A = this chain, B = another copy of it.
């Protein structure tokens, strides 16, 4: 008998990453394609279909029977229906996209769809940095700040799948206006664009020239070389994150917090600084035994999580 495989899709504004894997999340084949996020919904679906076709061909070659499809996507996802709920900022025509229906119609494969941060949380909890833990908070620091909540080994989505927006925790009640419509959200203080903005504010006053090529990698590199403005920017980012994480720790008293995304890959020193800020703020009983660790699955997290999601749900349905 052929062994069982699962297809995992990780849709982003720029790329669709896709993989064929074992139900345990081991990747047997992976690739990526431009997602054409700015084009029409049908163009994006065609990219998805090409990816599935490619995975099915690989499965056939490897004598693997594909049992299900999992998909992570930006935006709030109606998990029970497998479709988007409202719009997603980086995929212009993707609002309310009915992902499950379209995939099932074409391939007749059981399909599950979830928010990309939830899928990443699932991946890190099953075979990444938080493997073996039941109460997990995951935070991805990138262009935005995404969040995932796992309670008693279950992803927490909220009443209308609109929870776990950990990037939109207030850290400054009269703070900066946020894209979400709120004010003073941590995303406005510790995302990659926020770091760049803070750094530019500091350096512009010294040189009077704003450097538009700055990114967080450059800031971390300059800090490593001892540049004051870069070091200050990173320290401030850690202080802001410490404030948001203090709220998270006092609310959830989690076992472990996983930090992923481009900004977090700056390494252990960054996490150490964040932990020190958190420790100076959060309540002592909630901090006891808490682990704050970097994500370990990197760019694979979305694909692995989509596979774990589909494998888990599919085995429940049998």
Task: Give residues in A with beta carbon < 8 Å to B.
Answer: 76, 85-86, 135, 149, 151, 156-166, 168-173, 180-184, 189, 239-240, 243-244, 246-247, 250-255, 280-286, 288-289
Contact A160 B281 (CB under 8 A): no
Task: Please list 26 pairs of residues, one from A and one from B, whose beta carbons are closer than 8 Å in the complex, sorted by A's number.
Answer: A85-B285, A86-B284, A135-B159, A159-B254, A159-B255, A160-B285, A160-B289, A161-B253, A162-B286, A163-B253, A165-B250, A165-B283, A165-B286, A166-B250, A168-B247, A169-B247, A169-B250, A170-B171, A170-B243, A170-B244, A172-B172, A172-B173, A173-B239, A182-B250, A182-B281, A182-B282
Q: How far is the CA of A246 from the CA of B170 in the complex (A)?
A: 7
A240 nearest CB across to chain B (Å): 6
Kindly report how many copies of this chain are found in the complex they form together: 2
One of B149, B162, B251, B289 near A283 (C-beta < 8 A) = B162
Q: Are A250 and B281 in contact (CB under 8 A)?
A: no
Which residues on B sit within 8 Å (CB–CB) of A254? 158-159
Which B residues touch A160, using CB under 8 A? 253, 285-286, 288-289
When C-beta atoms are compared, the residue in chain B nearest to A157 turns out to be: B253
In the complex, the chain B residue whose C-beta lies closest to that of A137 is B251
Give chain B residues whose Cβ lies under 8 Å from the Cβ of A156. 151
- Additional pairs, 10, CB under 8 Å, beyond known A158-B254, A181-B284: A86-B285, A151-B156, A161-B253, A161-B285, A164-B251, A168-B247, A170-B171, A172-B173, A184-B243, A247-B247
Asked if A181 meets B281 with Cβ closer than 8 Å, knowing A151-B151, A169-B247, A253-B158, the reply is yes
Choose among A157, A168, A250 the residue with the greatest number of B CB atoms under 10 Å from its CB: A250
B residues near A244, Cβ cutoff 8 Å: 170
**CA–CA, A271 and B311, complex, Å:** 45
Q: Tell me the nearest residue of chain B to A254, going by C-beta.
A: B159
Determine how close the nearest CB of chain B comes to the CB of A292; give it in whole angstroms: 14
Measured between beta carbons, the chain B residues less than 8 angstroms from A86 are 284-285
Smallest CB-CB separation from A154: which chain B residue?
Answer: B152
A161–B255 CA distance with the chains assembled, in angstroms: 11
Closest-CB distance, A83 to chain B (whole angstroms): 13
Compute how far the CA of A218 lies from the CA of B27 in the bound complex, rounded to whole angstroms.
66
* Residues of chain B contacted by A289 (CB below 8 angstroms): 159-160
Structural contact, B181 and A283, CB atoms closer than 8 A:
yes
